[in-house]
Each structure stands twice: as structure tokens, then as C-alpha cells.
């Protein structure tokens, strides 16, 4: 049984132009995620890609594939099946940050979760700023980023609430 990448749509609409978030494992070495997507023949199928962490040289095969890293993809609904076929490794849920590689150590598990959510937000913000500078943000992609920022901010608030209690 092959588990599918996890996904979430950005606004609840399921027409062919709606963007969904697919969280996938990239299980091959790659220096540049955009080049990797182009090499896979998925240039028109993925609106954007946000690497969430770096490659893991030695993997815990029970939790993540060896030499892999997590990537969030903005995918038009009409291209979902095509993209999923290229990323067969199971991925964690969109709001599950437990497998994101964290370089800062903390003995407090709740603090680790907060730091991981912050890292995801930072990665999204860096990529969004890069795309804005390039002038390469369509209306659906802008809406997708705004929704993801809102979702991640909510996850950060929930983590802070847990830490404060």
C-alpha cells in the first residue's frame, strides 16, 4: 500500500484553478528544487515549491526516507494526480512539523514544535519575498500564500498557548 502525500486546498474551492498544498518527500539529491521540478517534467504542474529542511544523510527509515527532505508544493487541483504520481513516499500531515529537521536543540518538546512552526513560516516568507521581488506571483498563488501564512500563524499561536500554560 502506497501512502499519498498530504494536501490541503487554499480556499475550499475545488475547481481546476484552485491551489492545493501537497507536502512531499523529495528522496533524491537536488541542489535546486525548481530545477528538480523541471527535470521531472512538472514545470506546469507545480506553481511553487518550498523546501522545509535540508537533506538527511542518514535516515530513520521508520520516520522518513533516507537522503530525503520535506517540500510543500502549490499544485493546481487539476494537476494533483499527476504530481502525486511523482512523489510516492508517504508525507506527514500539513500541520505536522515533527519530521522537520531542527538544528536548534531544546529539551522542551513544546518548544521544539514552536521552533519548527517558526522555521516553516520563515521558509515560506523567504520564498514568497523572492517570488515578489521577481514579480512572479499570480493571483491564485498570492491567495495560496496568504492562506498558508494564516494557517501557519494559527499553528504558532496554538504552540505558544501550550507553552504558556
Q: Where do the structural domains in the chain lie, given as residue ranges?
A: 6-164
- pLDDT by residue for the chain (165 residues), tens digit each? 333 444 444 443 444 568 999 999 888 888 889 899 999 999 889 999 999 986 555 545 555 666 788 899 999 999 999 999 988 776 778 878 877 777 666 678 788 888 889 999 999 999 999 999 999 999 999 999 999 999 999 999 999 998 887
Does the pTM surpass 0.85? The reply is no
What is the radius of gyration, based on Cα positions, of the chain?
Answer: 16
DSSP assignment of 85-117, as one string?
A: HH--S----TT--TTS---S--S-HHHHHHHHH
Amino acid at each position: 500500500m502506497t501512502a499519498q502525500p498530504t494536501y490541503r486546498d487554499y480556499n475550499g474551492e475545488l475547481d481546476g484553478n484552485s491551489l492545493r498544498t501537497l507536502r512531499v518527500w523529495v528522496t533524491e539529491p537536488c541542489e535546486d528544487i525548481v530545477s528538480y521540478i523541471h527535470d521531472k517534467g512538472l514545470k506546469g504542474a507545480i506553481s511553487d515549491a518550498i523546501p522545509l529542511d535540508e537533506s538527511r544523510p542518514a535516515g530513520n527509515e521508520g520516520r522518513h526516507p533516507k537522503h530525503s527532505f520535506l517540500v510543500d508544493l502549490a499544485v493546481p487541483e487539476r494537476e494533483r494526480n499527476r504530481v502525486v504520481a511523482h512523489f510516492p513516499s508517504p508525507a506527514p500531515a500539513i500541520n505536522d512539523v515533527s519530521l522537520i529537521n531542527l538544528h536548534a536543540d531544546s529539551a522542551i518538546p513544546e518548544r521544539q514544535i514552536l521552533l519548527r512552526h517558526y522555521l516553516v513560516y520563515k521558509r515560506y516568507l523567504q520564498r514568497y519575498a523572492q517570488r515578489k521581488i521577481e514579480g512572479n506571483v499570480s493571483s491564485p498563488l498570492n491567495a495560496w500564500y496568504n492562506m498558508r501564512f494564516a494557517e501557519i500563524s494559527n499553528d504558532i499561536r496554538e504552540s505558544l498557548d501550550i507553552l504558556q500554560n
